[in-house]
Amino acid sequence: VSTAELYETLLRSQAEGMCAILGRTSIAFLGFIDLPALHWLNGNGLYVLFALMSAVGIYATASIPYNEKRTPLAK
């Protein structure tokens, strides 16, 4: 493993810490929408939010600039 790869792995560990904060933030967000979400859109509010968040996840992953072999994807 080269020094550059180790450096990048370390950076990604820091990214994990920051992303984990975002993940935990979602709990607070859920706290705000908890009971109202049961009544939104005829009781479907939570599932619509699931669909929206999944769409965000799909876009984020599909457009990520690296694949699993760590080579830049062809544009």
Partner 1 sequence: MPMTELFNEKYKGTTVRIMFAWLSDYFIYYGVTLIFPTILKSLLVNSKIQGIMYFYLGALALLEMAANGAAPFILNHPLLGFKKGFFYCFLFTLICSLLIVIVGNGNLFALFFFIAIIKIANSLTGMVTHSLLSFST
**Binding residues for partner 1 (CB under 8 A):** 1, 5, 7-16, 18-20, 22-27, 29-30, 34-35, 37-38, 41-44, 46-51, 53-68, 70
CB nearer to partner 1: give 24 or 74: 24
CB nearer to partner 1: give 23 or 74: 23
CB nearer to partner 1: give 18 or 74: 18
> In angstroms, what is the minimal distance from the CB of 71 to partner 1?
10
Measure Cα distances from 44 to 31, 35, 38, 49, 50 in Å. Answer: 17, 12, 7, 9, 10
How far apart CA 68 and CA 75 sit, in angstroms, is 16
CB 41 within 8 A of CB 48: yes
